[in-house]
Amino acid sequence: MGWFITQSLAFIIIAALIGLAIGIWIGWLVWGRRAKGKHAAAKAEAAARADAVAQPVPALAVAASGTGTTTEAEPVATSGSDAATSEAAGAEPAADTVPPVADGAPGPDPDGTDRADAGEAEAARADVIAEAEAVARRAAEADATATATAGSGAEAEASAAETAEIAETAETAAVPDDLRRIEGVGPKIAAALVAAGYPTYARIAAATEDELREAVAGQGIKFAPSAASWADQAQYLVDSDTKGLDEYQDYLVGGQERRGKFTENVDYTDVDEIDGAAAKAAAIAADEAEAAAAVEAEPEPEPQDLRRIEGIGPKIDATLKAAGYTTYAKVAGASETELREALAAGGIKFAPAATSWADQAQYLVDSDTKGLDEYQDYLVGGQDRAARFKKDVDYTDVDEIDGAAGKAAAISEDEAKTAADGDTEAAGSEARA
């Protein structure tokens, strides 16, 4: 009896499990096909809407570029919606073939399903519209970029040309300065200078006397005796040096420079304001005396080491300085005769190298150390050789060679270099001819 009860319970349990499995399987089939039908309908509607919305892309592109509207897209989207609805309706009978659900099994909520389908369709429609608008924007941007690129080169060239033209026009149309502030320039000459392209102080200051004379001559003015001073006067005006201009104009006589050189620290008398030739001459003589005194009053420069000049030792250095030749510039400005007289006054009768002192001193004035070294290599005992000095020849310093034969050989070699250099120069001259 116990065995029978046990077998019955086992059979009941197995049957219940089998029934449960069958119920789960049936529910899976029902819900799976329901979901499949729902997703198929959603996909069909989304595809239809995508096809419908894709049609007005050109209109969207036009709208993006600011030349059209998107109103033409609405009817197409509506017809697409109808097609999608009909396709979805055609798909419903597939769901009716599902076997009936057992009594009591939970069924789908029609209202909830419709709301989910509508939300998904609306999302799909929004995505498609957004993508279409993005495509339209990219197309419009690409078109604008191509247009800008095509015109950029021409626009740059036009801009550069326009800038140059504006600059030239601005320079030409510059407001003229009052050129009558320049002594010797009256209204007629001022107008002639402006017409010839010299409207400002800066332009006149940068011009030469010949250029200014040609400018006024081209306007019919042949007589302009003060043109030699116009550029200098204009430079004072460019520098806004009113005091310097007044002093320089006092120095001028009728706009022309005097015979004596202009000295800035001299208070000149404005001779143009003095009546009578004698009074004018007296004023000019007084100014010249003041200028001479100002030059003499300049401080004496520090004495320089004249022993850097080959042929000058301590004794000759002291003798020359006692005679007033304290600097390289003074020695360079003196003649051989003047230097020998200075030495003779100091008791020195023999100075064979005096012929080259002025030339050596000039190298020192110019701070040309390399040139001085080469020239001193050319010299022999401070004196010039028989052959003329040439800067392009690398001379041997004969004074550092022992023996007469060695010195003579070195001089001969340098002369051969000089001759070869002369032949090269002659050949070059013939080729240029």
Model confidence pLDDT, tens digit, residues 281-309: 999 999 998 888 876 655 678 899 999 99
- Examine the pLDDT at 117 and tell me if it is beyond 90: no
- The H-assigned helical ranges of 173-197 are 187-195
- 3-class secondary-structure state, position 160: helix
- In the numeric block, which tokens belong to residue 298? 């300049």
Q: Residue 164: which of 175, 176, 172 has the closest Cα? A: 172
Domain ranges within the chain, ordered by starting residue: 2-100+112-149, 173-257, 258-298, 306-432
Give 249's contacts (C-beta < 8 A, 6+ positions apart).
183, 233, 270
| H-run or E-run covering 250 | helix 242-251
pLDDT, mean of residues 175-197 = 93
Residue-wise pLDDT for 93-106, tens only, equals 333 444 444 444 44
Sign of CA dihedral 330, 331, 337, 339: positive
Say how far apart CA 387 and CA 418 lie, in whole Å.
8
Say how far apart CA 226 and CA 210 lie, in whole Å.
12
pTM: 0.35
Q: Residue 340: which of 364, 357, 326 has the closest Cα? A: 357
Give 54's contacts (C-beta < 8 A, 6+ positions apart).
128, 132
Q: What percent of the chain has pLDDT over 90?
A: 43
Residue-wise pLDDT for 131-161, tens only, equals 656 666 776 676 666 555 555 555 556 566 6
- Examine the pLDDT at 394 and tell me if it is beyond 60: yes
Q: 400 or 66: which carries more pLDDT confidence? A: 400
Contacts 24+ apart (CB under 8 A), 409-413: 411/380, 411/385
φ/ψ of 61, rounded to 5, equals -60, -40
Residues counted in the chain:
433
Using CA atoms, how far residue 22 sits from 15, 29, 31, 35, 101, in Å, is 10, 11, 14, 20, 12
